[in-house]
Amino acid sequence: MVVLYIFFIGYIVLFFAIVANALAHVFNITTWYDLLSFKKRPPILHLFWLFLVYPVILGFSAVVAYNLFF
């Protein structure tokens, strides 16, 4: 049963990550793929997105998933 909880929580986090990446693409913000491929040095706003906003979104998704199942 615990494995199913982990599985479903993972899917919820994955869903939020896909949505966040889609929003980043719409607003032309650097994603982790762009950063790790060393295409160019991202602006400071993009780093703010990658290191503050994106982790908060994923953390929030984990809290939402946890509250749905526990």
Digit-coded pLDDT (tens) for 3-33: 988 899 999 999 999 999 999 999 999 888 8
Angle at the Cα of 17 (from 51 to 13), degrees rounded to 5?
Answer: 110
CB within 8 Å of 46: residues ≥ 6 apart = 29, 30
Q: How many domains does the chain have?
A: 1
Q: What is the pLDDT of residues 29-67, one digit of tens each?
A: 988 888 888 777 889 999 999 999 999 999 999 999 889
Structural domain that includes position 23: 2-69
Q: Please tell me whether the overall predicted TM-score, pTM, comes out greater than 0.85 for this model.
A: no
